[in-house]
Structure 1
Amino acid sequence: MTSTPSPLPSLNDPHVLAEITAMSDRYEKALGDNALEELDALFYDGPETIRYGVGENLYGFSEIQAFRRARTGGSPPRDVLRRVITTIGQNVATVDLEFRRRGGQKTGRQSQTWIRTPEGWKILAAHVSLMADVS
């Protein structure tokens, strides 16, 4: 028996897009300020949460929280070069951006999956990487 695929949820509802844009801005400010409590509040507090960083793979909220507290000085300052936000229905969104660390030459990339929870929007998965030098 074959099933008919469900229709694609609506993309980029203006209200949801505005909410996620504000959350992404809030994340960037917290990252730049090394506001650990704010960064914790933006991630989903569960074992399902994943953050792949430039040099680490973190599984679960507890590992992410411990990593942030052990990192002296927080994330290096950066400038966002481009950001693409896509909302999927009313409860899921992705935020993808390119950045450059101040004083650096490499382009960085960050992807986040956000979900709406009873406590508000939370990051469920994140990935940060730096592009390799191309010769």
Structure 2
Amino acid sequence: MTIDDPLVVAEVRAAFDAYEAALMANDLDAMDALFWDSASTVRFGPGQNSFGIDAIREFRKARPGGSPQRTLLRVEITTFGPDFAIANAEFRREGADATGRQSQTWVRRPEGWRVVAAHVSLLGSGH
């Protein structure tokens, strides 16, 4: 298995960047297009757990104004073979002191790279 093939990393980074742009623009259609359209897709975030693409869509529609604006501090993408990748990012929301964390599991599907699982959290003062 080839890990971190530069061409695959570049493909995933492009998909990751497209998702980030859609998130910052609150472009629900573009965000949905980059998530796997499946009841098995999962997204965990501050204050919510969404099991299945329908729950993820409902969460996004109900969020007034979309995601808080943020700046990416670091992005690490690791690929495993040609069809599987993990993206991890650190970010800071505008006006916030806490660092946020995001992880996404990406899989190449017939329709392109899709997020099959995601987690977003804010770093607290725990141990």
| TM-score, length-scaled by structure 1 | 0.92
| Aligned counterparts of 1:50 and 1:79: Cα–Cα separation in 2 | 24
Q: Could you say which structure has the larger radius of gyration?
A: 1
The percentage of aligned residue pairs carrying the same residue is 51
1:104 aligns with one of 92, 96, 107: 96
How many residue pairs get aligned? The number is 127
**Deviations for 1:78-109, whole angstroms, at most 9, x for unmatched residues?**
00001100011000001000000010000000
**Deviations for 1:13-64, whole angstroms, at most 9, x for unmatched residues?**
1110110010111011000000000000000000110000011000000000
Decide whether aligned partners of structure 1 residues 44 and 104 sit closer, same or farther in structure 2, where only a CA change above 3 A counts.
Answer: same
Shift of 1:10: 1.1
Unaligned runs of 5+ in 2: none
Runs of 4+ in structure 1 deviating by more than 3 angstroms, as ranges, are: none
CA contact (8 A) 1:106 1:133 kept: no
| TM-score, length-scaled by structure 2 | 0.97
Alignment RMSD (CA, Å) = 1.1
Aligned to 2:75: 83
| Aligned counterparts of 1:119 and 1:80: Cα–Cα separation in 2 | 27
